Amino acid sequence: MGIDPGLSRLGYGIVTRTNHGYRATAAGILTTSLEIDLPCRLAIMSADLRALFEDFRPSVVVVERVFFQVNAKTAMSVGQASGLALATAAANGIEVHQFTPNEVKLAVAGNGAASKSEVATMVGKLLGVDQLPKQPDAIDALALAICYLGSAKLQGAIKSALAKPPTPRSWSTQETARDKVDLGDRS
């Protein structure tokens, strides 16, 4: 499950890896009203996250790492939602990972500076769908899940390769006529 944290809108996306690629099983957003005080908004978001975890039972939760925000107020609310998602997942015994937006863009679109539309296009292609959710936060959450699944597959391949003993090889030490040519001093 990918989570794009935000206190007003928290995007989520459930993606599984199949023999043929990736498949999204759910995506959407959780919202809280700006008119409710902060502690109540956090409590609502926590309850909604617990319900999501119970409904979908993800084995891994991937949360966007708060890396940089121009607006301090936005950074605070994203940080609060991120911390809440991390803590709620951990409290439910779910493995948690984080990726920065640039890491996700690089993994999904092949470019760490890709635009939102480029990422969305690649998410659609990787999932094999023509129609993505309308909410950008849900698309970002799907991208987070895809990023994790791709990196987990790579990590698995690396572990597998390292676990296998190297196959002995013999290198040919025969000299060829070309190897024996004296080129002389060409300085």
Residue 159 pLDDT level (bands cut at 50, 70, 90): low
Q: How far apart are alpha carbons 186 and 146 in whole angstroms?
A: 56
By annotation, the residues acting in catalysis are: 4, 64, 137
pLDDT number for residue 62: 97
Per-residue pLDDT of 98-137, as tens digits, reads 999 999 999 999 999 999 999 999 999 999 998 999 999 9
Q: How far apart are alpha carbons 106 and 59 in whole angstroms?
A: 24
Q: How far apart are alpha carbons 77 and 126 in whole angstroms?
A: 30
Q: How far apart are alpha carbons 23 and 15 in whole angstroms?
A: 6
**Looking at domain 2-157, does it have CATH number 3.30.450.20?**
no
Residue 179 pLDDT level (bands cut at 50, 70, 90): very low
Token match 């959407």: residue?
28
Structure tokens at 18: 């199949």
Q: Are 41 and 78 in contact (CB under 8 A)?
A: no
pLDDT surpassing 50 at residue 91: yes
Structure tokens at 32: 């809280």
**pTM of the prediction?**
0.81
The residue-averaged pLDDT of 50-64 equals 97
